[in-house]
Amino acid sequence: MYETHFGLKEAPFSLTPNTHFYLDSQSHQNAFQTVRVALDSMEGFIKIVGEVGTGKTLLCRRLLNTLNEPYVTAYIPNPQLSPLELCLAVAEELGVIVDSSVGQHQLLKRINEKLVQHAAAGSQVVLVIDEAQAMPDATIESLRLLTNLETESRKLLQVVLFGQPELDGLLNQPHLRQLKQRITFQEYLKPLSSEQVSHYIQHRVSLAGYNGPNLFHPKAVRWIGRSSGGVPRLVNILAHKALLAAYGDGTRQVTGQHVRRAVKDTESARPLGWLQGVWA
């Protein structure tokens, strides 16, 4: 819509997770490195937790894009499944051909056979589950049974869980303590600092093809940072709406007033009155 007006090749603040725009902030870098170290160490369970909009899915996709040989990956983006459905989804991801009417015992046996084949070939199988807080209790128990599959010398399946803070509450239930005890590595994604928000905005507009003077006035950047609380998804929403406001005015730079209008139009942003008190 406004790309041509601002000299952009594409929209820089889309809400769709796109690894092209991935920014390795300190928090994301720490989480990514933790996962890679844990996988290299053959640890069974790894957990990455972050609030809504902090970039879990983007980090998840970056991980999947970088796990080349000897890794074999299985990805479950929506784990709100029954125990049998979870096993069927894992089987499908691993290329195990089974009839949908097969019982869970036989299904686990077939999955185990496939995992043994991968191990014999020197491969490490990694199951990545996004939105893990949506898993029903019974499905989490089924996940634990999957990770029981092992040879005398190694685990046959490693699991990386990405989820909102509700995942911690889920795993704190007494009947799920066996699985919680298996989580040996964990990281928490933090919001961006004010300096990181500035870098984040510049990073995205540059990758979108912008090469002119500051597209966002420094005051606009500060207001986006404060109003969003450093949550990347909210930064994207506010920056996008501010660009629309600037485009509507026919200007070439986003100002604080454009951000004010974006904040007023965004229910989840810190309210305009709060901004007026702090940034008068």
pLDDT of 86-142, one tens digit each? 999 999 999 998 877 778 888 888 999 999 999 999 999 999 999 999 999 989 988
Q: What is the mean pLDDT of the chain?
A: 90
pTM for the structure as a whole: 0.88
The percent of residues above 70 in pLDDT, for the chain, comes to 95
Indicate the residue type of 159: V
Output the six-digit token pair for 123.
């491969």
pLDDT of residue 271: 74
Distance of CA 93 to the CA centre of its chain: 19
Asked whether the predicted pLDDT for residue 24 surpasses 90, the reply is: no
- The verdict on residue 15 lying in a domain is no
| Domain final residue, candidates 136, 160, 189 | 189
pLDDT of 143 strictly over 50: yes
172 with 143, same domain: the answer is yes
For residues 136 and 74, state if they share a domain: yes
Which whole-number Å values give the CA distances from 134 to 24, 131, 170, in the listed order?
27, 6, 9
Both tokens assigned to 54: 């902090």
The H-or-E segment that residue 74 falls in is strand 71-76
More confident residue, 186 or 145: 186
Calculate mean pLDDT across residues 225-237. Answer: 95
217 and 245 housed in the same domain? yes
DSSP alpha helix (H) spans, the chain: 3-6, 26-40, 56-66, 83-93, 104-120, 137-146, 166-171, 177-181, 194-207, 218-228, 232-249, 256-264, 272-278
* Predicted local distance difference test score (pLDDT) of residue 273: 62
Helix (H) or strand (E) holding 72: strand 71-76
- Is the Cβ–Cβ distance between 38 and 91 less than 8 Å? no
* CA-angle at 145, arms to 139 and 149, nearest 5°: 145
* Edge-first strand listing for the sheet containing 71-76: 71-76, 124-129, 158-163, 45-50, 183-189
227 near 258, Cβ under 8 Å? no
Q: Are residues 172 and 123 in the same domain?
A: yes
Full residue range of the structural domain in which residue 270 is found: 192-278
What integer pLDDT is reported at residue 16 of this predicted model?
A: 87
The answer on 200 and 162 residing in a single domain is no
- Would you give the distance in Å from CA 161 to the centre of its chain? 10
Q: How confident is the model at residue 236 (pLDDT cuts 50, 70, 90)?
A: very high
Q: What is the rounded distance in angstroms from the CA atom of residue 105 to the CA atom of residue 5?
A: 60
**Mean pLDDT across the stretch 36-45?**
87
Mean pLDDT of 1-14: 92
- Bigger pLDDT: 108 or 221? 221
Q: How far apart are CA 150 and CA 156, in angstroms?
A: 5
Residue 180 sits in the same domain as residue 263: no
pLDDT at 153: 64
Percentage with pLDDT > 90 across the chain: 70
Choosing from 162, 189, 216, the residue where a domain stops is 189
